[in-house]
Structure 1
């Protein structure tokens, strides 16, 4: 295997023996094969759109399939086999319908560079032994077993070899990882009934582009920026789905302690799963707690109304082994963020949606959470009430812009010197204490906007307020980056300037592919001077980095003192 798609890539290069996330070589191979299969489906779907054939169900499947390969989503090989088989079935079915409309169904994907052929030849005996499917994913894949599928996946992983163009490969990886993030947001929105066929249309266009060997740097850079632009639309749809269904978040105080009684902990990102669970647990004597990126759910009026929706437990995803072990109830994982469960809680953790781990009980799309509830009732629960303080959440765009006049007056009056957007993904690698120190060192006349699980480095710190405006404003999940963008754009309009001219600095942390597509979204808006850490992506070559520096002045974080001096003077 070779995987470099997350910030924790081994040795800063890539995981080759086993994923730092816990992904095995077999699962990595099946994920690569699924992506290759989706490229074949994309060739047919893109041709279908050319002749006026749009299949909404295939669009939804595409987003789910691509999302399932994002870091910390699904580790179950059997589920990837099912997705690969479905991709093949859908491709052949779509071919017939495209042909009936007069479209082309005979594709010849560009062959692999010769160096890759030689490497594959050494592995499989001869160049001729390399399956035709490796060269052209639009052809049918024979009905083979798991072992053969894994072998096929090994053929279609990341390009290697001296003759491979490193910069082109780097841009293709940025695009592919951006697509994984885009697919995630598109799927989140679709679950809430918000869809735009242009999102899947771009995913097909971009997947097809990754098969080309004649594509140049400029075209790939353009596709990466377009990926960010399309993602803004996806996040807009998701925002509309969340707020249209559950109301606009309001500032809310969330207890960090516990209530005596039975308990269920919900982690991940999915508001609908939480809502369904809250409905099914009413009157059962069970308190529901959030974990990780579910914290902002406490700010939504239609979720706040449940009296047994109590508080927040724990911090970010990478601490779950210790935190879940100590939680005296059941755990429900929605969307991504799962790690290998410890034996001590393996029988009381459940997955749903696209999340999967071999041997962990999975709740299917009927969303009948009875097993989760019954197990929670059998667990000991919290023995007593505890008070561990509280945190504030719910400062999404409506809440912040509702006091925009006070913010503008505070800036003009010199009470607020600068805004810092400090957020993104948290992770386990050293260096992330930078974000804790940064929050502590940012001067008291500055406001910190934060979102995603990066906030857990400082979310419980009392940073005070400026004229009644809290200095720490939790905008929400990584999914709520749209809110942060709308806040920035509204402030720019109010001050009659561009976003880059605002007293606003972006200092971001990244871990997985949602962060990649959010970064591309910021680039598509022309936002400059972003500081990124704790390390730069392993898949960005020096030449590609230079392009980003020249166009957007992106830079790595250094030290808190040096960065603040550069920003504040």
Structure 2
């Protein structure tokens, strides 16, 4: 195996025996095989697009396939084998359609050379051997490898967001078209400038996708509102739901209504508390615990069933006792967990097994008391725009610092807590994603009634932060978004954060700090391009970075 897609990657170079995340070599190889098959589908899918006959019937399979390979999403080898087998059948169907369309248009058979991805055939028994030749290291040149993998890693994040939107019935053909174009491109020898252009186009597609998901979420559940979220517990048995899928949240709340079972969010599901549609449920208690990497202890102490709707799922310890309470659904898989099947057409998922089990469980063990405040997505912040602008003009707010992104286990991430705690009192932190758990329980106060931590929501709600910045640029009459009193100090961990980063680059933001480390998939040559063109910086010391940000550097 060789995997360098997340921030934890061994020695910031690559995991070669077992993932630091816990991913076994066998699972990593099956993920490489799935990506190999998806690239093969893309060769024909992109060919059909170029012939003017795009086929979007496989878009959701492609989204789910990419999403399933994200860090900490799916640990079940049997699920990957099934997806690979399904993908090979789909690829061959696309091949037949492409060959027929080509002949119809050109009056002759297609006879150009095709990459291995488009022609290989084999059964499940062949997957392990083939996987050794189709992974990241198939590309010898490190700069080419870096650009190809940065594109694919960004696609994984885009796929996750597009899949969430599709669940709510929101789709854009242009997203599927770009998925095929981008994946097909990595089977070709392209000039470096074309590869860089595709990476930036991924940023454009990421903006499109996050805007679509924002529309899907807010049209379905209302715009997030300023909300005090309870972080204590009640005396009823409960179900804990984690991940990002709001449709699963909605269906779980409906099915638990009147059962005597409470519902709590965990990790990236925390922002569900901000949506008006969910506030009508009196058994929706609040949030339990912190970010994803605390789950090994927090899932134990919760005592009731736990539902994982998307990543991040951490492999259980040998001593863990909650496997029989662990339920997975969607792209998530874990051997030994109970899997909730996809909803039938026009229907809902069946969560009755969780509810029945919950009724026989003890109430959650209390971890803390009190409340945290969130719900500062773009609609809510823009409603306060006059107040914010006046605070900036009066000097009450000197600077906004975007500290969005991911949380993680490494001690180096204490940096983000320390930055938040030590920023001057006239600064406001804009955040989204699970990075907020590093500082959202600090008592940082407010500026004239504006909280000093404005939480927009999930990692995809980084789109809200971009909308806010673009609106402020307009309000202040600036010709360059980088002239705003705005700094970026971003924490990254997995592939959705890469999609967000590419989106911000496409929108023209420069001078962003990124940590705890720069991505291991960046070769020195590609890193140099990003530094020269976008002024991407590694994080430094807390003191030096705060001073530089306050000075506009």
Q: TM-score range by the shorter chain?
A: over 0.9
Give the corresponding residue for 1:193: 169
Q: Write the distance in 2 (CA, Å) between the matches of 1:260 and 1:275.
A: 23
Matched, 1:43 2:37: no
Match of 1:361 in 2: 338
Q: In the TM superposition, what is the alpha-carbon distance from 1:550 to its structure 2 partner?
A: 0.7
User: Retained in 2: the 8 A contact 1:41–1:91?
Assistant: yes
* Contact 2:460/2:500 (8 A) holds in 1: no
Asked if 1:566 is matched to 2:543, the reply is no
Q: If the length of structure 2 is used for normalisation, what is the TM-score?
A: 0.95
8 Å CA contact 2:431–2:462 kept in 1: the answer is no
Query: Conserved in 2, the CA contact under 8 Å of 1:259 and 1:386?
Result: no
Partner residue, 2:28: 28
Query: What is the aligned partner in structure 2 of residue 173 from structure 1?
Result: 149
Q: Deviation at 1:173? A: 1.1
Q: Distance in 1 between matches of 2:178 and 2:463?
A: 19
> Which runs of 5 or more residues in structure 1 are unaligned?
110-134
The separation in 2 between residues aligned to 1:369 and 1:410, in whole angstroms, is: 47
- The residue that corresponds to 1:340 in the other structure is 315
Measured in 2, the distance between the counterparts of 1:181 and 1:46 equals 20
Q: Secondary structure at the match of 1:480?
A: helix
User: In the alignment, which residue of structure 1 is the partner of 2:391?
Assistant: 410
Superposed displacement of residue 493, structure 1:
0.4
Structure-2 separation of matches of 1:483 and 1:494? 16
Spell out the pairing of 1:511-550 with structure 2 (5 A cutoff): 511-550=493-532
User: Once the 2 structures are TM-superposed, how far is the Cα of residue 105 of structure 1 from its aligned partner?
Assistant: 5.8
For the aligned residues, what is the CA RMSD? 1.4
Normalising by structure 1, report the TM-score.
Answer: 0.92
SS for the counterpart of 1:315 is coil
| Equivalent in the alignment of 2:16 | 16
Distance apart, 1:234 and its partner CA: 0.4
Q: Following TM superposition, by how much is the alpha carbon of 1:544 offset from its aligned partner in structure 2, in angstroms?
A: 1.0
The counterpart of 1:277, out of the listed 248, 252, 257, is 252
- CA 468–377 in structure 1, closer or farther in 2 if over 3 Å, else same: same
CA pair 42-392 structure 1, distance change in 2 beyond 3 A = same
Q: Does 1:137 align with 2:113?
A: no
Match of 1:220 among 191, 195, 210: 195
Tell me, yes or no, if structure 1 residue 152 matches structure 2 residue 130: yes
Cα offset, 1:531, TM superposition: 0.3
SS of the residue corresponding to residue 176 of structure 1 reads: helix
Q: Which moved more, 1:264-273 or 1:52-61?
A: 52-61
Alpha-carbon displacement from aligned partner over 1:266-302 (angstroms, at most 9, x marks no partner)? 0011111010000000000011000001111101000
SS at 1:424's partner residue? coil
What is the alpha-carbon distance in structure 2 between the residues aligned to residue 15 and residue 314 of structure 1?
29
Q: Find the aligned partners of 1:21 and 1:415 in 2 and give their Cα distance.
A: 43
Q: Whole-Å Cα distance in 2 between the matches of residues 382 and 494 of structure 1?
A: 47
* Alpha carbons of structure 1 residues 32 and 150: separation in structure 2 relative to 1, 3 Å: same
- In the comparison of the two structures, how many residue pairs are matched? 538
Query: Take 2:491 and 2:79, find their aligned partners in 1: how far apart are those partners?
Result: 31
Deviations 1:367-406 (A, max 9, x none): 10111111111211247x8861110011100110001011
Measured against aligned partners, the alpha-carbon deviations of 1:62-114 in whole angstroms (never above 9, x if no partner) come to 111111111111111111111111111111112222333335765534xxxxx
Q: Provide the residue aligned with 1:480 in structure 2.
A: 461
- The answer as to 2:262 corresponding to 1:287 is yes
CA contact (8 A) 1:270 1:335 kept: yes
CA–CA separation in structure 2 for the residues paired with 1:107 and 1:407: 59
- Aligned residue number for residue 181 of structure 2: 205
Deviation at 1:140?
A: 4.7
Aligned to 1:108: 113
Aligned twin of 1:436: 417
- 3-state SS, counterpart of residue 335 of structure 2: coil
Runs of 4+ in 1 over 4 A off after TM superposition: 103-107
